[in-house]
Amino acid sequence: MKRLVVLTGAGMSAESGFSTFRGNGGLWGRYPVEQVATPEGWAADPALVTDFYNGLRRQLVGARPNRGHELLAELERDFDVCVVTQNVDDLHERAGSTHVIHLHGELMKVCSSRDPDDPRCWRTLTAERPDVAPGERAADGSLLRPWIVWFGEAVPRLADAARAVERAEVFAIIGTSLNVYPAAGLIHYAPAGCPVYLIDPADVQVPGGRPVEVIRATASRGVAELARRLRQAP
């Protein structure tokens, strides 16, 4: 099967009623980045950060995958699909996608605040219990923190994502402004001759001037059109 790699951003989940961090009504308009998404913010007030992510998880529990998520999952019938997402929600997985690389972490997971990369301290929260209690500890005795890549932290799965894009036979970009690095730079790993599709209702400046086939639409309508074009392609 042809290898399809899809990079998704906040616009992928917008139709699911899950607040995006950027854009109109985005969370960054209500909460300063420095306060809730940096190691320094955590050190200054872990209780505030914990409460912020508890609220975000409750919102995610109430959200549902939209038709765009479902259509991407359905493409696995005809393509070898890898989803690389900047989103921290689990909507791709809930829609049925089986190969998802989360660049910025996963909202429903928590970890050690001493060593976030220690898998012995990872824990997956549930829809029935999405909150972390104030002062709750990881297995190593440190405070539990969100398993999120905060500003100023390394992106541990970037190399995995780059390898996936290097092997792509089709590359699609959905619902991302391509302003957030290093994720925006992944387009440069797409092989020469690999067709690139861009799905977004707004104008997006593609870095490096790479030629792209633009589908000016929301995620649900855009993925439907992408699926149609891919299935018609030789």
**Residues 100-127: what's their mean pLDDT?**
96
> What 8-state DSSP symbol labels residue 218?
-
Residue 180, both tokens: 């957030």
CATH 3.40.50.1220 is right for the domain spanning 1-18+65-104+156-234: yes
For residues 205 and 227, the model is more confident at 227
For residues 224 and 181, the model is more confident at 224
Look at residue 196 and tell me whether its pLDDT is greater than 90: yes
Tens digits of residue pLDDT in 136-151: 999 999 999 999 999 9
pLDDT of 202 reads 83
Domain locations along the chain: 1-18+65-104+156-234, 19-62+107-148
Residue closest to 92 by CA, chosen among 110, 109, 68, 76: 68
Look at residue 19 and tell me whether its pLDDT is greater than 50: yes
Residue by residue, DSSP assigns 8-66 as E-HHHHHTTTPPPSSSTT-GGGTS-HHHHSSHHHHHH-HHHHHHHHHHHHHHHHH----
Residue 206 CA to residue 212 CA, distance in Å, equals 8
What is the set of active-site residues?
104
* Architecture of the domain delimited by 19-62+107-148: 2-Layer Sandwich (3.30)
Tens digits of residue pLDDT in 131-185: 999 899 999 999 999 999 999 999 999 999 999 999 999 999 999 877 767 777 8
For residues 177 and 126, the model is more confident at 126
pLDDT of 24 reads 45
Percent of the chain with pLDDT over 90: 74
Tens digits of residue pLDDT in 60-106: 999 999 999 999 999 999 999 999 999 999 999 999 999 999 999 99
